[in-house]
Structure 1
Amino acid sequence: MKIDLHNHTVYSDGILSCEELYERAVSAGVDVFALTDHDTVFGCEEMLLLDGKKKTRVILGLELSTVYQKESVHLVCLFKNNRIPKAMVDYSYFMIESRKKRAVRMMEQIQQIYHLKMNIEELLQESKTVTRANMMRHLAKYNAITPKEASFYVSKTSKAYLPSTEITTEEGIRLAKAANCIVILAHPCLLPRPIVEQIVQMGIDGLEVRYPDNREGDEAYFRHLAATHHLLCSAGSDCHGDSSHADIGSATLDETEFKPLSERIGFSYGD
């Protein structure tokens, strides 16, 4: 079996619809995958309708954006028994409005400072959760530039940059645990190891030990860290559907590796 527990759709900064992501998972031979859009659950009900449409099964969740010691820390939160927690619905509504306001202000400043073309109304319609990735793709399309060139205008070095509304990592863990989620530290390979070692002591449930951007020795190190702190091991491709991210099925667990995690979230492939 192939189990991939970290993926995105157009409900955040991915480019695939729920059905497109599901069909891509089927084509990639993925047996189980999780939907973990950034700070939103609004794709979950749509994705749940696809669960088991073919042999591929779906797990619901989201990816919380948090900050710790100026580092961007993402938490994959998996929902037990595929039930969407009300607390996460409420948080999703809050973040949607916050991100929209930020996007409008940033795009207006990009227009004023850099004189780029854009259609803000169209941008807001393209995704329920507007991230910098959405803004970057929009600018690339309207100004005939590459996404890499457009990325400067939404980067932290841009004169138009505005920070997003982010909660601390400790707050994110408390929110997720209160909502009865299983909390996994996403892509720890992108963080300094001392930061990871501090986060594992904050009450998380697991580490994303297998990830497309892992360097040599990363998985072994994170598995050892997980064993030392009695944490679950997860894997995720972080698929967004575009060429700048890995495709679904690129980083997976097998059935044996998945069993401890599946038991904690109340998931059975045969259900």
Structure 2
Amino acid sequence: MLELHCHSQYSDGTLTPTQLIERAVGAGVKALALTDHDTMSGCAEAAEAARRYNLTLVPGVELSTVHRGRSLHILGFYPDGDRLQGPLQARQEGRRRRAEAMIEKLHQLGCPIVLPNFPPGVAPSRPHLAQALLNGGYVQSWEEAFNRFLRDGGPAYVNYSQFSAEEGITLLRSCGAVPVWAHPYLFAGGSVDDILPELVELGLMGLEVYHPHHRRSQQNHLHQLSQSYHLVVTGGTDYHGPAPGRTAKELNSFALPLTLLEPLQRAAEQLQSYQGG
């Protein structure tokens, strides 16, 4: 009944925040975190919808950082949105510049695409480009768009503007947010066992144990690591909403217990109390 990793149209999801909340309620979710990429612009709408449906909304964000030269995502839970707004605007500008550079590469590859006009606060990303390629008839699915053009190291790929994991963790903690390593087994820059001590040293406070790309054995290992390093355990389906040519787990597929939320709340309260003192 707990979902701690979801996206809306404010990043690379296909649903508005209100539609996401409505779909979550229909799936039996009782508490949900909206964790759009590098933006919290959808949280106000999501909070209003959550109140109408008596759903607990966990404010959050997913920062795109770089560690050992590879993309590493960090979830932040319960941040002070006002303090985070300025830094996130800078991250969104970086995403726009990255998208423009990838569009230019696609044009050179014979696939001229045009993205829609995004409202303020939306962070463009590769799924937006994949949808534009699909709409233009250049590919038959999102999977083909990534495999042919947009994958890491692909012919149209452009890396994130440099924003280190250390900077991301420090930023989140400075805004009262609990930093959690998102989908650790998707990181391509080293093994989880090698990378985790480095991130803990930088101030990491949690691990996303439950994720669609984690096998059961990997979940078990992440649980052991979270206990060894005294880290908060989180999880979610990384839900992006329905989209043509894209398959994903449905909301509440893990049926995570609400008891997982309590340690996360305590960690945020302790962090914010320490900062306030």
The answer for the alignment partner of 2:106 in structure 1 is: 110
Q: Does the Cα contact within 8 Å between 1:11 and 1:127 map onto a contact in 2?
A: yes
In structure 1, give the amino acid aligned to 2:114: N
- For the residues of structure 2 that align with 1:36 and 1:195, how far apart are their CA atoms? 23
Compared with structure 1, are the counterparts of its residues 256 and 17 closer, same or farther at alpha carbon in structure 2 (3 Å cutoff)? same
Structure 1: gaps (5+ residues): 267-271
CA contact 2:103–2:112 (8 Å) conserved in 1? no
Number of matched residues? 260
Counterpart in the other structure of 1:249? 252
**Partner SS for 1:201:** helix
Question: 2:144 matched to which residue of 1?
Answer: 149
Q: How does 1:172-191 map to 2 (within 5 A)?
A: 172-191=168-187
Residue equivalent to 1:135? 129
Partner secondary structure for residue 102 of structure 2: helix
Cα 1:247–1:166 shift into 2, 3 Å: farther
Unaligned runs of 5+ in 2: 270-277
| Partner Cα distance (1:13, 1:142) in 2 | 18
Identity of aligned residues (%): 29
Residue 34 in structure 1 maps to residue 28 in structure 2: no
Corresponding residue of 1:6: 5
The runs of 4+ residues in structure 1 deviating greater than 6 Å are none
TM-score, normalised with respect to structure 2 = 0.86
SS in 2 for 1:51: helix
- Structural mapping, 1:219-238, within 5 Å: 219-238=219-238
Does structure 2 conserve the Cα–Cα contact (< 8 Å) formed by 1:4 and 1:32? yes
CA shift in 2, pair 1:166/1:79, >3 Å: farther
Q: Which residues in structure 2 correspond to 1:172-211 (within 5 Å)?
A: 172-191=168-187, 192-193=191-192, 194-211=194-211
Alpha-carbon offset, residue 18 of structure 1: 0.5
**Structure 1 residue matching 2:145: 3-state secondary structure:** helix
Q: Deviations over 1:111-150 (max 9, x none)?
A: 1x22224224x26469821101111111111125222222
Structure 2 CA distance, aligned partners of 1:157 and 1:189? 19
Q: Distance in 1 between matches of 2:86 and 2:121?
A: 18
Instruction: Determine if contact 2:206/2:233 at 8 Å carries over to the other structure.
Output: yes
Deviation at 1:23, TM superposition (A): 0.8
How far apart in 1 are the matches of 2:85 and 2:220?
36
Q: Partner amino acid for 2:126?
A: R
C-alpha spacing 1:171/1:24, structure 2 compared with 1 (3 Å): same
Cα distance, 1:211 vs structure 2: 1.6
What residue number does 2:95 align with?
99
Q: Amino acid of the residue matched to residue 248 of structure 1? A: L
Trace 1:33-52 onto structure 2 (pairs within 5 A): 33-52=32-51
Root mean square deviation of aligned Cα: 2.1
3-state SS of 1:74 partner: strand
Shift of 1:72: 1.8
The 8 Å contact of residues 7 and 239 in structure 2, kept in 1 or not, is answered as yes
1:186 is displaced (CA, Å) by 0.9
Rate the CA distance shift 1:234–1:156 in 2: closer, same or farther, 3 A.
closer
Distance 1:92 1:104 in 2: 18
Q: Equivalents in 2 of 1:227, 1:154: separation in Å?
A: 36
Measured in 1, the distance between the counterparts of 2:212 and 2:254 equals: 6
The code of the aligned residue for 1:105 comes to A
| TM-score (ref. length: structure 1) | 0.88
Deviation at 1:198, TM superposition (A): 3.0
Question: 1:195-238 CA deviation, whole Å, 9 max, x = no partner?
Answer: 23432332111111122221131122111111111111111111
